[in-house]
A = this chain, B = another copy of it.
Amino acid sequence: MDHRAVGVLQDTLLREMPISGAMGISVHSWDGAQVAVEMPLLPNRNHQSTAFAGSLSALCTITGWGKVFLMLDARGLYGNIVIRRSQIRYLRPVQDEVIRARSNPVAAEQSDYFFELLEHKGKSKVDVSVEIVDDAGPLVKFTGSYVVQEVETARDV
């Protein structure tokens, strides 16, 4: 695991999206392809002691954002990442004490195209899918489209 990158993403989330502090969002791991981001159920529960859909949506939105952040970071880049649209399906209630969302790998040709466009146009777009799963399969499925621009060489953050 890349502990430096995980630490940078964690600091960035807390600084740049303050509500993630109230939600208890923390970056669990990054293996170079998949990032996992967690939050505790307690502050994010609903009336049925399962996770509130709005918190699940925010967790997935952040996880996808983190994936794009780490794709850039792995190439020594830092940019302005904005989500344009997303869709989410709530398949089954989420009731783990700690809820973990994980980005699916972005296919190599999609990643190559993303960086090519970024290099030539200074702006690019990538779709990231994120899931929350348990042993029986997916609980939540999310896909977000993220736009990246104003990219510069990574600064110390």
Q: A residues near B, CB below 8 A?
A: 12, 15-20, 22-23, 43-48, 52-55, 57-59, 61-62, 65, 80, 82-90
In chain B, what residue has the closest Cβ to A87? Answer: B87
A88 and B90 contacting across the interface, CB-CB below 8 Å: no
Copies of the protein in its oligomer = 2
State the CA gap A65–B85 with chains docked (Å): 20
Least distance between A35 CB and chain B CB atoms (Å): 15
| A83 x B90 contact (CB < 8 A) | yes
**CA distance in complex: A89, B145 (Å):** 10
The residue of chain B having its C-beta at the shortest distance from the C-beta of A144 within the complex is: B53
Could you tell me the distance between the alpha carbons of A59 and B58 in the complex, rounded to whole angstroms? 10
B87 touches A54 (CB 8 A): no
Closest CB-CB distance, A119 to chain B, in whole Å? 24
Partner of A57, one of B20, B43, B48, B61: B61
A103 to chain B, nearest CB (A): 15
The answer, among B22, B88, B90, for a CB contact under 8 Å with A22, is: B22
* Residues A54 and B52 in contact, CB atoms below 8 Å apart: no
Minimal beta-carbon separation of A91 from chain B (angstroms): 8
Taking a contact as CB atoms closer than 8 A, the residue among B61, B80, B84, B89 that contacts A54 in the complex is: B61
Complex: A40 Cα to B17 Cα, angstroms = 14
Q: Contact between A86 and B83 (Cβ–Cβ < 8 Å)?
A: no
List, in ascending order, chain B residues with CB within 8 A of A52's CB. 17-19, 58
